[in-house]
């Protein structure tokens, strides 16, 4: 028998997930998911305790991007999110009617609540990368009138900044996981059932292509990106404030 205290926690987690599922696109949804996840880790509540009577939460996949030509950093970001939010990921490729080249989408794979949280965090980080990299490049040119804006220079600045940003983001997530372990004495690990289901699914995949990541050409841009990626607040309200004030 579970204690009344545990039943109360489970009820609260279920309520938070219900709020998140009611509206998956707004800030309230994302906040509810994050709080539910934190409570589950803190009180060692298993997914089976908050799901339906069968005691099993369904393993699903969820599309995180539109079908398009994915940039190197979109693929790298998917790996960072998957490593820190208990899901696997893969790319689904399609060739649309009338188009010669295939397009790809990032797909997260895992328990439904974890997939939804991973998608939310991917989109927030994606928006942050677009916003902050553009700001950095524009400020770089504005601050030095003797530097001419060229496609090559802009690409070097943007790629170097984003590489730093992703390294900073990954470091931030790792620090959060360490804090969770130290504060609650628990580790956030990928469910065994998800890893096994993904291994079975991966047998249907085609040959993987090596991801080409640009070299760091502008070290100032890299350092600034790393600092920004590690320090900003990944919530919709903060990003909305940035957009308004930009």
192 C-beta neighbours (distance < 10 Å), count: 8
- Enumerate residues 6+ apart whose C-beta is below 8 A from 237: 27
Based on the fold, state whether residues 25 and 104 are members of the same structural domain: no
Based on the fold, state whether residues 52 and 62 are members of the same structural domain: no
Based on the fold, state whether residues 162 and 82 are members of the same structural domain: yes
Domain endpoint, select from 27, 56, 85:
56
Based on the fold, state whether residues 204 and 103 are members of the same structural domain: yes
Domain endpoint, select from 56, 79, 94:
56
Structure token pair of residue 61: 């996949």
Based on the fold, state whether residues 24 and 125 are members of the same structural domain: no
Which position has the higher pLDDT, 11 or 197?
197
> 178 falls in which pLDDT band (50, 70, 90)?
confident
Residue with tokens 């600045």: 157
pLDDT at 234 over 70: no
Based on the fold, state whether residues 1 and 29 are members of the same structural domain: yes
Average pLDDT over residues 189-194: 85
Average pLDDT over residues 132-153: 91
Query: Which secondary-structure segment (H or E) carries 107?
Result: strand 103-111
- Estimate the crossing angle of helix 236-245 against helix 27-42, to 10 degrees: 140
The pLDDT assigned to 173 comes to: 86
193 C-beta neighbours (distance < 10 Å), count: 14
28 C-beta neighbours (distance < 10 Å), count: 13
The pLDDT assigned to 197 comes to: 94
Average pLDDT over residues 93-121: 89
Based on the fold, state whether residues 44 and 146 are members of the same structural domain: no
Sign of torsion over alpha carbons 238, 243, 245, 246: positive
Structural domain span for residue 231: 58-245
Average pLDDT over residues 137-160: 91
Based on the fold, state whether residues 221 and 210 are members of the same structural domain: yes
pLDDT at 59 over 60: yes
Query: Which secondary-structure segment (H or E) carries 6?
Result: helix 4-22
Based on the fold, state whether residues 98 and 197 are members of the same structural domain: yes
- Enumerate residues 6+ apart whose C-beta is below 8 A from 13: 36, 39, 40, 45, 50
Report d(CA 176, CA 168) in Å as an integer. 12
pLDDT at 5 over 60: no
Based on the fold, state whether residues 94 and 197 are members of the same structural domain: yes
Domain count of the chain?
2
Instruction: State the number of CA atoms in the 13 A half-sphere of 58 facing the CB.
Output: 5
Structure token pair of residue 209: 């292509």
pLDDT at 240 over 90: no
- Enumerate residues 6+ apart whose C-beta is below 8 A from 56: 48
Q: In terms of Cα–Cα distance, which of 72, 66, 118, 116 is closest to 94? A: 66
The pLDDT assigned to 1 comes to: 41
Which position has the higher pLDDT, 95 or 209?
95
Using the 8-state DSSP alphabet, how is residue 78 labeled? H
**Mean pLDDT (the chain, rounded):** 82
Based on the fold, state whether residues 64 and 23 are members of the same structural domain: no
The pLDDT assigned to 243 comes to: 45
Based on the fold, state whether residues 188 and 102 are members of the same structural domain: yes
């Amino acid at each position: 028998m579970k204690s009344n205290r545990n039943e109360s926690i489970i009820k609260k987690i279920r309520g938070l997930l219900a709020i998140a599922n009611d509206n998956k696109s707004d800030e309230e949804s994302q906040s509810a998911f994050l709080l539910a996840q934190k409570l589950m880790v803190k009180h060692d509540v298993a997914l089976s305790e908050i799901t339906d009577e069968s005691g099993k939460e369904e393993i699903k996949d969820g599309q995180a991007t539109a079908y398009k030509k994915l940039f190197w950093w979109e693929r790298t970001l998917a790996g960072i999110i998957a490593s820190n939010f208990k899901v696997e990921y893969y790319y689904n490729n399609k060739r649309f009617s009338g188009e010669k080249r295939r397009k790809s989408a990032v797909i997260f794979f895992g328990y439904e609540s974890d997939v939804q949280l991973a998608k939310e965090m991917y989109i927030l980080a994606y928006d942050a990368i677009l916003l902050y990299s553009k700001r950095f490049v524009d400020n770089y040119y504005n601050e030095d009138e003797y530097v001419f804006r060229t496609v090559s220079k802009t690409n070097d600045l943007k790629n170097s900044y984003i590489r730093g940003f992703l390294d900073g983001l990954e470091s931030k997530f790792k620090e959060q996981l360490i804090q969770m372990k130290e504060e609650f004495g628990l580790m956030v690990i990928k469910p065994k059932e998800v890893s096994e289901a993904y291994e079975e699914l991966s047998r249907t995949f085609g040959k993987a292509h090596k991801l080409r990541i640009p070299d760091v050409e502008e070290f100032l841009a890299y350092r600034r990106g790393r600092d920004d990626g590690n320090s900003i607040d990944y919530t919709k309200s903060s990003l909305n404030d940035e957009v308004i004030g930009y």
